[in-house]
Amino acid sequence: MNTYTVSPADEQYFLSKRIAILGYGSQGRAQALNLRDSGADVIVGNRAGKSFDRAAEDGFAVYSVSDAVQKADVLALLFPDESAADIYAEEIAPYLREGQTLLFAHGFNILYNLIQPPKFVDVVLAAPKGVGPMVRRLYEEGGGVASLVSVHQDASGHALQTALGFAAAIGSSRSAILESTFKDETETDLFGEQAIICGGIPALIEAAVDILIEAGYPPELAYSECAHEVKLVIDLIYAKGFGAMYDSVSRTASYGGITRGKRLISERLKSDMKEILREVQSGEFAEEWVAEKRAGSGHFRELVENARESEMEKAGIAFRKILETKNE
């Protein structure tokens, strides 16, 4: 992948703009704070509620979404994917003017044509590869998370400058700013979430915990071995890769993992993963998720509640209580 270097001219161009953070959730708050600490002129647009109040408590000038759109040059749309299109249609699109930039942290709504911006605005992507609290924490520590940057529409001739300046100001120039596209960012992000990060890994952990409990082992021990220790291994992979991870764990663990792990990756599993990717690429997943939201998200809430009531979750609660008692 190609990387970008942000020049002083790029930074100064960006810092001459007023930025509206639209949506003060996890990412919105982290990015707003980082931008302000980098010297940017930042306001917040949000609907009334807890996020609106928190932005005010953090010292930002907070407006309705439509008012913020009219007061800013760069509009960072950081509302949830499933809500952004409706908010855009009602509170953003009617107030856009020539020369503004629509900036997205995820390409979902552009790729699947849920948001179709007018031709007279720039449309860019600056997607930090980390959750909001990490974006903020690493910035405060003097680092940053890598970001993917792309230009979808360049009406002004300066769209890339804006995207690079934004990525630098949230801290990504301290790590890496990588060239991408809305398509690649969205499809790989959704696939990774579903097949691995939020789907495959939790499902594999739950299956392993259930097997040990069914075999008669204490639930807390099953959770400790199959779930709690995952972070230790992931941290090693994150820092230095798989080779360093195998060097750091015991030889027994390395041999057992290498020789047994691939047994789990059957041709059926690969086929299922390819089907997940197909659903992402075709837009089928996006349609399903947007429809779920518009139907009230009842099925989604039921799925989350079922996950909270699983045997694995109960074992995890019990194990964490043991740790809390030990540390008191």
DSSP type of residue 73? S
- Cα gap 166→163, rounded to integer Å: 5
DSSP 91-128: IIGGG--TT-EEEESSSHHHHTTSS---TTSEEEEEEE
Residue 127 and residue 105 in contact, taking contact as beta carbons nearer than 8 Å: yes
SS3 string, 20-52, reads EEECCCHHHHHHHHHHHHCCCEEEEECCCCHHH
Strand order in the sheet with 177-179: 62-63, 41-45, 18-22, 74-77, 101-104, 122-128, 147-153, 177-179
DSSP 232-265: HHHHHHHHH-HHHHHHHS-HHHHHHHHHHHGGG-
Q: How far is the first Cα of the chain from the last one, in angstroms, to the nearest whole number? A: 48
Asked if 299 is an active-site residue, the reply is: no
Residue in the structure block whose two tokens are 């939020």: 198
- Cα gap 299→301, rounded to integer Å: 5
Annotated catalytic residue within 106, 158, 228, 299: 106
Would you please indicate which residues are annotated as catalytic (active-site) residues?
106
